[in-house]
Amino acid sequence: MNRLKEKLVKFMSGRYGVDQLYYVMLVLWAVLMVVNIKVDSLILVAISDVFLVLAIFRSFSKNISRRSGENQKLLKVWNLVRRKVKLFFRRFKEIRVHRFRTCPHCKKTLQLPIKRGKNTVKCPRCQEKFEVHIFL
Ligand SMILES: [Zn+2]
């Protein structure tokens, strides 16, 4: 058993292994397989198998910098989506106290107190002033 473990460790040394993109691909493969139970499509099986083959290929790949770059792209998108979802729920949670507006110059989301009507706001990040309309 130890001999098999040593061979496996030797085989995997210098290879990329698993990361977040690997798990995303496995989840996509599983979801497509579950959907395929209802749909029963050969094309869906082919697409899901592509995800599985890519996940396995990536984990055994020796081009670590490229695989890491691919994972970083996924994490960038993931963090953006997570931030947007968090802000969405925060808007509802603080609906009685704050309004959220995006600075047109630096695109930072600002948390503003509720002052109904037309207001001039100074962005704390870029120091630019811009008009804000708060109706409700
Ligand atoms: Zn700004």
- Do both 11 and 73 map to the same domain? yes
**Cα 103 to middle of ligand 1, angstroms:** 5
- Do both 50 and 78 map to the same domain? yes
The whole-number pLDDT of residue 87 equals 94
**Closest to 23 in 3D by CA, of 68, 69, 71:** 71
- Do both 22 and 77 map to the same domain? yes
The whole-number pLDDT of residue 136 equals 78
Q: What is the largest CA-CA distance in the chain?
A: 75
**Cα 108 to middle of ligand 1, angstroms:** 6
- Do both 27 and 89 map to the same domain? yes
- Do both 88 and 102 map to the same domain? no
The whole-number pLDDT of residue 102 equals 94
- Do both 39 and 88 map to the same domain? yes
Q: What total number of domains does the chain contain?
A: 2
25: exposed, middle or buried (Cβ count in 10 Å: 0-12, 13-18, 19+): buried
- Do both 116 and 85 map to the same domain? no
The whole-number pLDDT of residue 92 equals 92
CA distances from 23 to 14, 18, 26, 123 (A): 20, 8, 5, 39
- Do both 58 and 114 map to the same domain? no
Phi, psi (degrees; rounded to nearest 5) at 74:
-60, -45
**Cα 132 to middle of ligand 1, angstroms:** 13
Full residue range of the structural domain in which residue 39 is found: 2-93
The whole-number pLDDT of residue 135 equals 85
Integer Cα distance of 36 and 55 in angstroms: 19
Tokens encoding 38: 């209802």
- Do both 61 and 39 map to the same domain? yes
Q: Which portions of the chain are predicted below pLDDT 50? A: none
Integer Cα distance of 108 and 102 in angstroms: 5
- Of the residues 93, 109, 128, the one at which a domain ends: 93
- Do both 80 and 100 map to the same domain? no
**Cα 26 to middle of ligand 1, angstroms:** 40
